[in-house]
Structure 1
Amino acid sequence: MNSRRASVLLMAVNFSLLGTIAYVIYVMKVGPNIVAGPTKTRVVTNTVTQIAVRKINATNLLAALANRPLNWRALESTNYVVYIENLRNFGCPEETVQDIIITDIAKLYARRRAQLRTQLHPYKFWQTADPIRGTPTAPPELQRQLRELDKEQRQLVRDLLGVDFRAEIARYWNEEASAERDYSFLPPAKQGAAQSITERYDEVEQEVYWRSRGLLLNADQEELKQLQRQRRAELSAILSPEELDEYDLRHSDTANTMRTQLAGFQPTEEEFRKIFRLQRGFEENFDQAFDSRDDAAMALKTAAQREAQEALNQEVRKVLGPERFAEYQRAQDTDYRALLQLGERFELSPEVANKVYSVKQGAEQYKLQVESNPNLTEEQRNQAVAALARETERWVAATMGDPVFKAYQKTGGQWLGNLPVVDESAVPPPPPQPTGTTLPYDINLLPPELKNFLLNPPVFPPPVKR
Structure 2
Amino acid sequence: MTLRALILASLVVNLAMAVATWRLWPRPSSRGSGVLAERTVVFNNGPLRTSSNGLRIDITITNSPPQFRWQTIARDSYTNYIASLRAVGCPEQTIRDLITAELTEENNRQRRALLAPLQADYWSHAMRGLAEALNDYEEKIDLIDARTTDQIDILLPQAKQGPVHFSVNGAQTGHLPVEKKDAVKALHERFSLAAAKFMDDPGVTKEEKDRQKKLLQQQLDGELKQLVTPEDYAEMQLRGSRHAEALRGMIGLDLSPEEMRKLVLVLERYEKSPGGSKPGQPGAEQKKAQEQELRDVLGDRYESYVRAQDSNYGQAYRIARRFDLPPETATQVDDVRKSVGEAAQALGKNSQLTRDQRREALLAVQREAESTVREILGEKASDAYQRVGGDWIRSLSASEPQP
CA distance in 2, matches of 1:413, 1:273: 34
Mark the CA change 1:367 to 1:208 in structure 2 (over 3 Å): closer, same or farther: farther
Task: Find the partner of 2:232 among 239, 243, 247.
Answer: 243
Amino acid at match of 2:302: F
- Superposition map of 1:23-422 within 5 A: 32=32, 67=57, 108=81, 118-119=92-93, 145=97, 149-150=101-102, 169=110, 176=116, 185=175, 192-193=179-180, 195-202=182-189, 204-205=191-192, 227-250=216-239, 252-254=240-242, 257-281=245-269, 284=272, 308=283, 311-312=286-287, 315-320=290-295, 321=298, 323-373=300-350, 381-420=358-397, 421=399
Higher strand share: 2
Matched-pair contact (CA < 8 Å) for 1:201–1:231? yes
Amino acid at match of 1:196: A
Q: Once the 2 structures are TM-superposed, how far is the Cα of residue 245 of structure 1 from its aligned partner?
A: 1.6
Amino acid at match of 2:184: I
Q: Once the 2 structures are TM-superposed, how far is the Cα of residue 111 of structure 1 from its aligned partner?
A: 7.3
Mark the structure with the bigger radius of gyration: 2
Matched-pair contact (CA < 8 Å) for 1:197–1:234? no
CA distance in 2, matches of 1:103, 1:312: 63
Matched-pair contact (CA < 8 Å) for 1:167–1:177? no
Matched-pair contact (CA < 8 Å) for 1:339–1:412? yes
CA deviations 1:221-277 (Å, max 9, x no partner) are 777665543332212224444332222233x14265235422442432232112212
CA distance in 2, matches of 1:147, 1:308: 54
Amino acid at match of 2:236: Y
Amino acid at match of 1:368: Q
CA distance in 1, matches of 2:85, 2:324: 47
Mark the CA change 1:266 to 1:322 in structure 2 (over 3 Å): closer, same or farther: closer
CA deviations 1:147-183 (Å, max 9, x no partner) are 99559x97xxxxxxxxxx7786459x85537886666
CA deviations 1:314-372 (Å, max 9, x no partner) are 61453235642221222222222223333444454433322211211222123323433
Mark the CA change 1:248 to 1:313 in structure 2 (over 3 Å): closer, same or farther: farther
> Over the residues paired in the alignment, what is the CA RMSD in angstroms?
5.4
Mark the CA change 1:383 to 1:166 in structure 2 (over 3 Å): closer, same or farther: closer
Mark the CA change 1:364 to 1:322 in structure 2 (over 3 Å): closer, same or farther: farther
Partner-residue secondary structure (3-state), 2:255: coil
CA distance in 1, matches of 2:179, 2:34: 37
Which segment drifts farther, 360-369 or 254-263? 254-263
| Unmatched segments (≥5 aa) in structure 1 | 1-28, 36-64, 69-77, 83-100, 120-140, 155-164, 287-300, 426-466
Matched-pair contact (CA < 8 Å) for 1:335–1:412? yes
CA deviations 1:102-149 (Å, max 9, x no partner) are 988998589769x98944xxxxxxxxxxxxxxxxxxxxx999x55995
CA distance in 1, matches of 2:367, 2:83: 63
Matched-pair contact (CA < 8 Å) for 1:109–1:149? no
Q: Once the 2 structures are TM-superposed, how far is the Cα of residue 415 of structure 1 from its aligned partner?
A: 0.6
Mark the CA change 1:278 to 1:331 in structure 2 (over 3 Å): closer, same or farther: same
CA distance in 1, matches of 2:353, 2:387: 33
Partner-residue secondary structure (3-state), 2:253: coil
- Count matched residues: 286
Q: Structure 1-normalised TM-score?
A: 0.45
CA distance in 2, matches of 1:274, 1:207: 35
Mark the CA change 1:305 to 1:234 in structure 2 (over 3 Å): closer, same or farther: closer
CA distance in 2, matches of 1:170, 1:104: 22
